[in-house]
Amino acid sequence: MQLSTIASLIGARQTGHTDIDINWLLTDSRSLCFPESTLFFAIRTQRGDGHRYIQDLYSRGVRAFVVQDVPQFTATAGECVFLQVENSLVALQRLAERKREEYDIPVIGITGSNGKTTVKEWLYQMLSPDMTVTRSPRSYNSQIGVPLSVWGLWEKSQIGIFEAAISQPGEMEALERIIQPTIGVFTGLGAAHQENFRSMEQKRQEKMKLFSHCKTVFVPTPGLSALEADRDLCRQVCRHLGMPDDVIEQRLSQLEPIAMRLEVKQGRHGCMIINDSYNSDLNSLGIAMDFMNRRPDRADRQRVLILSDILQSGVPPTMFYEHVAQLVQMRGVECLIGIGPSISAHAACFDQLQAQCQFYPSTDAYLHSQSFATLRDSVVLIKGARNFHFEKITQALEQKVHETILEVNLGAVVDNLNYYRSFLNPDTKIICMVKADAYGAGAVEVSKTLQSQTQVGYLAVAVADEGALLRSNGITKPIMIMNPEMTSFDTLFEYNLEPEVYSFRILDALVRAAEHAGITGMPIHIKLDTGMHRLGFDPETQMPQLIDRLQHQTALVPRSVFSHFVGSDSDTFDQFSALQYRRYLIGADALQEAFPHHILRHMDNSAGIEHFPDRQMDMVRLGLGLYGIDPRNNAIINNVSTLKTTILQIHDVKAGETVGYSRRGKLTRDSRIAAIPIGYADGWDRLFGNGNAYALVNGQKAPYVGNICMDVCMIDVTDIPCQEGDQVVLFGDQLSPSILARTVNTIPYEILTSVSHRVKRIYYHE
Ligand SMILES: *Cc1c(COP(=O)(O)O)cnc(C)c1O
């Protein structure tokens, strides 16, 4: 579409006269691919301002911008075009509405709490053999995602499938105007994202607004399981579109579960594997490559893309592979492995690339190649259509694994961050606690995910070595060290880490070391003891001496002053919390008065953010909540970590026999006993044994029998249909660490942080 056309469609005031043919709309500057034909929408949200990225995008070749304010530097940027509007997001939505109106085709609009993406993808799989389908990439279903999805309509589109999600009242009207669905699909209602709705009924009514102009709306037949309900919806829609029943059933039988995840795994020989088993089209390929690109990583690792033939109906293969080639170039891929007859036949499309390109007729041919055998020190993005069975490549690249793994959902970490952000003012900064290896989840990957989030001001760890590890893995955010050891000062200096200072002893030693190293102006964080009586200066007696000491040196500068609530997780301590806060203010005010610069203030931890949002001050410290557990009621917010294993062996054991050491597991009935590879050396508490706790096998409770051993333990699966090799969940969504904690009289923090390092962590994004 011509830029001048867009300008009139969205009613913008245009500065600059060049006309440009626009193919791509961009709202996130990091995802830039094709600068010459991109139109950037500078959107202001509570969390950020797209206008800040205009100059950077200009230097990367973008020439067309939708803005609310025309930036200053334009005097020298003659060839730039700015479309000035009152609200860039509204303009983006209006443009998508106009685009949609050009298409007189059936459009399916999907909303509901769960299963939107699955239903969308399954419908796509069922319909795409017969028609050209345009659909939302991944889960692009927000106020920004929906217009970007609808923009994907083009002259060959015969049907559109778009999903819509809302998080508060008043949002669906805009999405309805953009999607203008002719057919509605409602996947059902759940408890997710309830915080902004008064009631389930209100949420239902808001969601239903998507269908206000639909002639037909499908809902799942009552009484079906979630999986069956999704299939049922697909069946109903296909029947409505006139697909014969036998074809429907045949295609339904071939559907496979949709993996909405980008999995990140450590592979052998220094490789990191990003596995995207998701449907391969250009959009999702772009997203996956973007993901690969955003991981700051060791500089010596090369970027490798392994890509199969991709069939996209309606698009000529040459055009498609040329686009892939452009993406490969833009994303700095150093090596492309193309697998399949079609991509091999179009090798010429990749001729001009700097990347090294190799082509193989089949997955097996590649697996047997020299190139595969010598793959080393690479970040490998694996993306293939299902019939190429790329899982063979992933399996071959994976390290030999201990069969117990901790699966970490990095997307849920962000969801939890957003949950806590909803209690905060937009300019309150968040200190994300990633100590104790991010409460067991893995500090490096969690920090990589967090550091690109706005409002995250700091990462915090306990000791200097944890901070150094983050720095060596490309983390650039400010890092706070909560418990600096006297012997670690050089590490602090070398890696630019900011220590907490809680006593004169450590203050004096730090000043001396910093002066010796010739350091000035190093930020430190002053801790006040307001009632925990653990670490900290006494705000009522020690401030004058502390101020005096700080004012007579230049090595250190107080950057923040903070304290810690003893009991923000329970109403019982509200009065004491108020007392702590008053004591804190005495100390913080005294310190502030002695210095001309603003000294940041923080006190709330996870429970405090929820319970005392009025005490958020400049910053808050978010710990347990980030990992999905609400410390005030132990409920799971968005589950982050799942500890899983598999059954090694099953024994039929007669009543009267015993299981395990010291004959503690006495059987009173004939039993089936499964052995699983986790024990106290993995951090699995011995007190779980002898029936005190249970694991989940195929969703059912299997109590621990007898004593937990060092590397193995036994569970009772007498009543559970299962076999060797089946998966066992030790904790996760359906079995919260809080439940386990209660059985052994501890807190979920201890359960999470006890999972030992020999348990492999696997990361994915959902
Ligand atoms: C660990 C820690 C936190 C985070 O506490 P959560 O209860 O996990 O939110 C906050 N402040 C300090 C000083 C901490 O050590």
pLDDT in tens, 197-229: 888 888 899 999 999 999 999 998 888 877 788
CATH number at residue 282: 3.90.190.20
Domain count within the chain: 5
Q: What is the Å distance from ligand 1's center to 433 Cα?
A: 7
Q: How confident is the model at residue 615 (pLDDT cuts 50, 70, 90)?
A: very high
Range name among 94-103, 321-330, 334-343, 550-559 with the lowest pLDDT average: 321-330
Question: Are residues 664 and 602 located together in one domain of the fold?
Answer: no
CATH number at residue 649: 2.40.37.10
Question: Are residues 425 and 503 located together in one domain of the fold?
Answer: yes
Q: What is the Å distance from ligand 1's center to 500 Cα?
A: 13
Cβ < 6 A, ligand 1 pocket: 433, 482, 564, 605-607, 621-625, 631
Own/partner contacts of 702-707, CB < 8 Å, gap of 24 or more, are 702/674, 702/728, 705/659, 705/660, 705/665, 705/667, 705/671, 705/673, 706/658, 706/659, 706/660, 706/661, 706/664, 706/665, 707/660, 707/661, 707/662, 707/664, 707/665
pLDDT at 591 exceeding the cut of 70 = yes
Question: Are residues 606 and 685 located together in one domain of the fold?
Answer: no
pLDDT at 415 exceeding the cut of 90 = yes
On whether residue 454 sits in a domain, the answer given is yes
Q: What is the Å distance from ligand 1's center to 621 Cα?
A: 6
Question: Are residues 646 and 519 located together in one domain of the fold?
Answer: no
Average pLDDT rounded to a whole number, residues 624-652: 94
Question: Are residues 328 and 237 located together in one domain of the fold?
Answer: no
Atom of ligand 1 nearest to the CA of 621: 10
With the C-alpha atoms ordered 338, 279, 180, 766, is the resulting torsion angle positive or negative? negative
- The rounded distance, in Å, linking the Cα atoms of 444 and 273 is 16
Between 531 and 374, name the one with better pLDDT: 531
Q: What is the pLDDT of residue 392?
A: 86
Question: Are residues 122 and 24 located together in one domain of the fold?
Answer: no
On whether residue 239 sits in a domain, the answer given is yes
Q: What is the pLDDT of residue 196?
A: 82
Q: Which of 431, 480, 483, 605 to mutate to test the pocket of ligand 1 (most atoms within 8 A of CB)?
A: 605
| CB 330, CB 24: distance < 8 Å | no
Q: Which of 193, 225, 253 is the last residue of a domain?
A: 253
Question: Are residues 380 and 449 located together in one domain of the fold?
Answer: no
On whether residue 391 sits in a domain, the answer given is yes
Using CA positions, which residue lies closest to atom 6 of ligand 1? 623
Question: Are residues 435 and 552 located together in one domain of the fold?
Answer: yes
Q: Which two tokens stand for residue 340?
A: 């399949």
Render pLDDT for 8-23 as a digit per residue (tens, 0 to 9): 999 999 888 788 899 8
Render pLDDT for 704-740 as a digit per residue (tens, 0 to 9): 999 999 999 999 999 999 988 888 999 999 999 999 9
Q: Which of 627, 651, 680 is the last residue of a domain?
A: 627
Domain span at residue 729 reads 641-764
On whether residue 207 sits in a domain, the answer given is yes
pLDDT at 192 exceeding the cut of 70 = no
Question: Are residues 352 and 416 located together in one domain of the fold?
Answer: no
pLDDT at 400 exceeding the cut of 80 = no
Render pLDDT for 297-324 as a digit per residue (tens, 0 to 9): 666 788 999 999 887 666 788 888 988 8
pLDDT at 401 exceeding the cut of 60 = no
Q: What is the Å distance from ligand 1's center to 196 Cα?
A: 27
Distance between alpha carbon 378 and the CA centroid of its chain, in Å?
22
Render pLDDT for 504-530 as a digit per residue (tens, 0 to 9): 999 999 999 999 988 889 999 999 999
On whether residue 740 sits in a domain, the answer given is yes
Q: What is the Å distance from ligand 1's center to 11 Cα?
A: 50
Burial class from Cβ neighbours inside 10 Å (0-12, 13-18, 19+) for residue 652 reads exposed
Range name among 25-29, 160-164, 410-414, 501-505 with the lowest pLDDT average: 25-29
Atom of ligand 1 nearest to the CA of 605: 9
Q: What is the pLDDT of residue 275?
A: 85
On whether residue 95 sits in a domain, the answer given is no
With the C-alpha atoms ordered 603, 609, 614, 619, is the resulting torsion angle positive or negative? positive
CATH number at residue 30: 3.40.1390.10
Q: What is the Å distance from ligand 1's center to 482 Cα?
A: 10
Atom of ligand 1 nearest to the CA of 625: 9
Between 298 and 175, name the one with better pLDDT: 175
Q: Which of 526, 564, 568 to mutate to test the pocket of ligand 1 (most atoms within 8 A of CB)?
A: 564
| CB 37, CB 25: distance < 8 Å | no
On whether residue 634 sits in a domain, the answer given is no
Active site members: 435, 661
Between 368 and 210, name the one with better pLDDT: 210
Question: Are residues 646 and 692 located together in one domain of the fold?
Answer: yes
pLDDT at 631 exceeding the cut of 80 = yes
Question: Are residues 75 and 223 located together in one domain of the fold?
Answer: no
Q: Which of 253, 277, 292 is the last residue of a domain?
A: 253
On whether residue 299 sits in a domain, the answer given is yes
Range name among 164-168, 233-237, 702-706 with the lowest pLDDT average: 164-168
Question: Are residues 216 and 362 located together in one domain of the fold?
Answer: no
Render pLDDT for 62-91 as a digit per residue (tens, 0 to 9): 999 999 998 876 655 568 899 999 999 999
Q: What is the pLDDT of residue 48?
A: 82
Atom of ligand 1 nearest to the CA of 631: 7
Sequence-distant (6+) residues with CB within 8 A of 334 are 302, 303, 304, 355, 356
276, 480, 740 from 311: Cα distances, Å: 16, 49, 48
Between 761 and 708, name the one with better pLDDT: 708
Q: What is the mean pLDDT of the chain?
A: 91
Using CA positions, which residue lies closest to atom 15 of ligand 1? 482
- The rounded distance, in Å, linking the Cα atoms of 35 and 303 is 22
Atom of ligand 1 nearest to the CA of 569: 7
| CB 185, CB 233: distance < 8 Å | yes
Burial class from Cβ neighbours inside 10 Å (0-12, 13-18, 19+) for residue 14 reads middle
Measured from the Cβ of residue 1, the count of other Cβ atoms closer than 10 Å reads 17
CATH number at residue 155: 3.40.1190.10
| CB 263, CB 274: distance < 8 Å | yes
